[in-house]
């Protein structure tokens, strides 16, 4: 598939140059080429995907609609009236049905058995890491953070999804800070027990669910600040 896309890009670029130099008029052909390329890119992303299906699906949707317009089946008004609502629907479907049956084959991947308050024991593939910032932009990630001197972490999902397991962290001091932002995306965070939890944030056309239990007698505190815009954030043990 990569070779097909590469050839497609080369041919499309050559045709665009010839058209811009007025050597040959390929303007109509370009209208068919670039939507077809978007469809190919989307299909390639779906076939070998390890992340969210939202972005590849959006590519296929946009390419298909513009290709339909090139063939005369849609005018500009009808195209726009279908495009944006369809993208919103795809994002919603992605939030309802997050990444499933996903596995990683990198060297830092391990299989863990975990138990949460709302599920039975399951085996799950996590990437282990110790970063300060995690961003899922139109994609997905599963990370298990291992840290003995945890201070702060930032997690952002933009039209994507993130599952972050923090149950193995140990605070460097008496307080740890977790910043979470979901913009048309979904974030699940697994927190350790035995900490005092202080949560503050603002959901804007979104949802925030807290299934964690704060220990009022704990000497260490996890402070969580969040913002969600047309997205969903869930914290649990």
Per-residue pLDDT of the chain (237 residues; tens, 9 = 90+): 455 556 666 766 776 777 777 765 665 677 777 788 778 777 766 665 445 577 778 888 888 888 888 878 888 888 888 888 888 887 777 666 655 434 333 334 444 333 444 444 444 555 666 778 898 876 778 889 988 899 999 999 887 788 999 999 999 999 999 999 988 778 999 999 999 999 999 888 778 999 999 999 999 999 999 998 877 899 999
**Angstrom distance (rounded) from CA 156 to CA 138:** 11
At residue 111, the pLDDT reads: 40
CA distance 225 to 203: 11
- What helix, strand, coil percent values describe the chain, rounded to 5? 35, 35, 35
- Predicted pLDDT at 121: 40
Residue 4, pLDDT score: 55
pLDDT value for 106: 36
Q: How far apart are CA 209 and CA 1, in angstroms?
A: 41
b/e 147-156 (16+ beta carbons within 10 angstroms → b): beebeebebb
| pTM, to two decimals | 0.57
């Amino acid at each position: 598939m990569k070779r097909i896309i590469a050839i497609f890009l080369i041919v499309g670029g050559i045709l665009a140059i010839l058209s811009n130099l007025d050597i040959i008029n390929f303007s109509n052909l370009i209208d068919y080429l670039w939507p077809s390329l978007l469809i190919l890119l989307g299909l390639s992303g779906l076939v070998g995907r390890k992340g969210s299906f939202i972005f590849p699906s959006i590519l296929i949707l946009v390419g298909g609609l513009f290709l339909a317009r090139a063939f005369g089946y849609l005018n500009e008004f009808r195209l726009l009236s279908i495009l944006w609502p369809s993208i919103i629907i795809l994002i919603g479907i992605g939030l309802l049905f997050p990444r499933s049956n996903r596995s990683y084959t990198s060297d830092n991947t391990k299989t863990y058995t975990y138990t949460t308050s709302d599920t039975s024991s399951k085996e799950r593939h996590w990437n282990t890491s110790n970063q300060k910032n995690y961003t899922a932009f139109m994609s997905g990630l599963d990370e298990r953070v291992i840290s003995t001197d945890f201070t702060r972490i930032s997690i952002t999902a933009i039209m994507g999804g993130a599952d972050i397991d923090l149950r193995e962290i140990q605070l460097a001091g008496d307080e740890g800070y977790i910043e979470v932002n979901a913009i048309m995306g979904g974030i699940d965070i697994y927190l350790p027990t035995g900490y005092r939890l202080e949560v503050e944030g603002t959901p804007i056309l979104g949802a925030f669910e807290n299934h964690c239990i704060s220990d009022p007698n704990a000497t260490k505190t996890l402070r969580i600040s969040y913002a969600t815009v047309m997205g969903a954030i869930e914290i649990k043990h």
